Amino acid sequence: MQIRYGLMLIKRNPDQAILDKAIYYDNSEFAVLHFVGYENQPSESDKQDLRTELYSTNFGITPEMLEQCEIADAPPDIVEFFGKIIKAEITKDISPSAENN
């Protein structure tokens, strides 16, 4: 699978509590708290499914934090950034040395 699109859970103008949970922040107006990559462009249904999943699982993000955040389409530079990380993790997990650990 090639990641060409992404959805991200963001908080605009984040405070320190949000920054402590952020997985990406570049001194712009928002912090990324969660990213999901997609091969095909995600739909509005995908956005709703992601929000439901975030409420029902423990990603270290409280419901109160979720209420302050939004799910947004990831711009190409962020898709590329996380795509490289995900590809490296997948490659590491399926390498012969990983099987010997």
Tokens describing residue 73: 């389409």
pLDDT at res. 61: 82
More confident residue, 27 or 76: 76
The domain segmentation of the chain, as residue ranges, is 5-99
Query: How many distinct helices (H) and strands (E) make up the chain?
Result: 5, 3
Please give the average per-residue pLDDT across 58-85, as a whole number. 90
pLDDT at res. 87: 86
Largest CA distance in the chain: 45
Q: Each residue of 36-55: pLDDT tens digit?
A: 999 999 999 999 999 999 98
pTM: 0.82
Taking alpha carbons only, the member of 86, 62, 95 closest to residue 5 is: 86
Instruction: Tell me the average pLDDT of the chain.
Output: 87
pLDDT at res. 93: 65
